[in-house]
């Protein structure tokens, strides 16, 4: 998620890089929902999918949702991007997370989980914006507008880490355990990419934690199972974490 910028339509360097990386990864190796998500967001960014809004029209802020009830922004802000490199980094991250999680959960389950997590990230962004404004008196938290898929990606990263056996991760040269990897990445992105939305990324992590570590995750899994008839099966470690048995 990045603070809103006007979209430059057309083929840009980031789009070229994304195409090359996807080809090098292997298009046939990318699961279908993930591949469709990458293609869809890329076509949306380039303007090849014609929509009756611009990226700046659907950026999300607490004031737009709470005061003006702009629900279009609530649902669409996750899928717009502020620049070609913003899109590139997000889609590469999405390919890696989808490659890991979609085969485990099943395509339809993964799609529904993406919808739920994305909606949750929007709600968390609005909640944090309002709460931080109340706590700090800084009205900027209430009005700052953001777009991008990275909040959802942070939520997926938490979920993916919970599916793994505990192991060490290399985050920009820092070797840290799984539990700390997502938090270190949050801090590094905030320091290295000043235009990124710290609140949006934090919201994504919190949504991922709610799904992974609390009863909310079980409720979501039960809802998805009721809709698809296919259960989401997690690694044993995931359930141990969710039930507080893993320290």
Owner of token pair 């992590």:
205
Quote the CA–CA distance of 69 and 76 in Å, as a whole number. Answer: 14
Q: Mean per-residue pLDDT for 4-14?
A: 59
Q: Which is catalytic among the residues 61, 83, 122, 150? A: 150
Closest to 102 (Cα-Cα) out of 207, 239, 232, 203: 232
Model confidence over 156-179: pLDDT tens digits? 999 999 887 667 666 666 677 777
Q: What percent of the chain has pLDDT over 70?
A: 87
What are 50's two structure tokens? 């014609």
* Contact status, residue 22 vs residue 30, Cβ threshold 8 Å: yes
Q: Which is catalytic among the residues 81, 86, 201, 234? A: 201
Model confidence over 183-235: pLDDT tens digits? 888 998 888 887 889 999 999 999 999 999 999 999 999 999 999 999 998 87
Residue 190 among the catalytic residues = no
Owner of token pair 């099943």:
106
Residue 165 among the catalytic residues = no
- The stretches of the chain forming alpha helices (DSSP H) are 13-25, 32-46, 62-66, 71-76, 84-105, 107-136, 140-143, 150-163, 178-192, 198-213, 215-228, 236-242
What's this model's pTM, rounded to 2 decimal places?
Answer: 0.89
Q: Tell me what the pLDDT averaged over the chain comes to.
A: 89
Which pLDDT score, from 0 to 100, does residue 43 have? 95
Q: Spell out the domains of the chain, with CATH numbers in brackets.
A: 13-244 (1.20.1540.10)
DSSP per-residue codes, 139-182 = THHHH--EE-SHHHHHHHHHHHHHHSPS-EEEETTEEEEHHHHH
Whether residue 20 has pLDDT greater than 80: yes
Report the SS3 class of residue 237.
helix
Report the SS3 class of residue 232.
coil
């Amino acid at each position: 998620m990045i603070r809103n910028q006007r979209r430059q339509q057309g083929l840009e360097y980031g789009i070229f890089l994304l195409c090359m990386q996807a080809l090098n990864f292997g298009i046939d190796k990318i699961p279908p929902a993930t591949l469709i998500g990458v293609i869809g967001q890329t076509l949306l960014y380039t303007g090849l999918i014609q929509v009756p809004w611009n990226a700046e029209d659907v950026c999300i802020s607490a004031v737009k949702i709470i005061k003006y009830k702009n629900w279009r922004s609530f649902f669409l802000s996750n899928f717009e991007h502020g620049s070609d490199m913003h899109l590139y980094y997000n889609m590469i991250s999405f390919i890696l997370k989808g490659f890991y999680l979609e085969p485990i959960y099943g395509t339809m389950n993964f799609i529904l989980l993406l919808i739920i997590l994305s909606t949750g990230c929007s709600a968390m962004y609005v909640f944090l914006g309002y709460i931080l404004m109340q706590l700090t008196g800084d009205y900027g938290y209430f009005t700052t507008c953001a777009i991008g898929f990275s909040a959802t990606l942070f939520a997926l990263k938490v979920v993916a880490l919970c599916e793994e056996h505990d192991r060490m991760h290399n985050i920009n040269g820092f070797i840290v355990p799984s539990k700390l990897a997502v938090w270190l990445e949050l801090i590094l992105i905030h320091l290295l990419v000043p235009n990124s939305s710290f609140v949006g990324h934090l919201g994504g992590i919190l949504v991922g934690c709610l799904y992974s570590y609390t009863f909310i995750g079980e409720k979501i899994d039960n809802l998805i199972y009721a809709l698809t008839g296919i259960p989401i099966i997690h690694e044993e470690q995931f359930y141990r974490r969710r039930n507080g048995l893993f320290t």
